[in-house]
Amino acid sequence: MKINRNWVTPFLALIFVSVGSSGVLMFFHLADGFTEVLHEVLGLTFVLFAFLHVVINWRSMRNYFGKTNFVIAAVAVAISSAGLIVLERAQLPVDLIVLEKVTRAPISDSFRVLEIDRGRAAAVLSEKGIELDGAETIEDIWVKNNSSPEEVVETLVYEAR
């Protein structure tokens, strides 16, 4: 199958608008919780279509790679990206900090914060083959059951409430 620029270019442009718009909404915390999945999935799709765009236009694009403007842009993007990653690591997002503290707190406190009944939690987890016996924290549950944190927390939050 031949890659056709008549399809790649419109998709790339429209996906760019969607990813850019969802990124702006996320930056200003508008429609939080609704834009993240859209942004992530369309972001991956954007990468695919950008790659196809480069493949289609490789001959004309390779002329830019050795130019000073391209090198300056590449260095600026690399430094900006590294700086943002370092800043993010220096101050973790609140939701990750709270989740970590809830999963490591005594299990009765975690259930109280999450508004989950222990009996209901035990029943729902048991249906998934995950046992609550002897667990002192939510973290203990996934460690003792060779499960994943996501599976245990999602089960508790979405099914045990």
Rounded CA separation 133/140 (Å): 10
* CA separation, residue 149 to residues 96, 101, 130, 131, 154 (Å): 12, 13, 12, 14, 8
Q: What is the pLDDT of residues 72-113, one digit of tens each?
A: 999 999 999 999 999 888 887 887 888 889 999 999 999 999
- pTM, two decimal places: 0.61
Q: What is the pLDDT of residues 67-81, one digit of tens each?
A: 899 999 999 999 999
Rounded CA separation 78/14 (Å): 25
Rounded CA separation 161/159 (Å): 6
Rounded CA separation 153/14 (Å): 35
Give, as one character, the DSSP assignment of residue 4: -
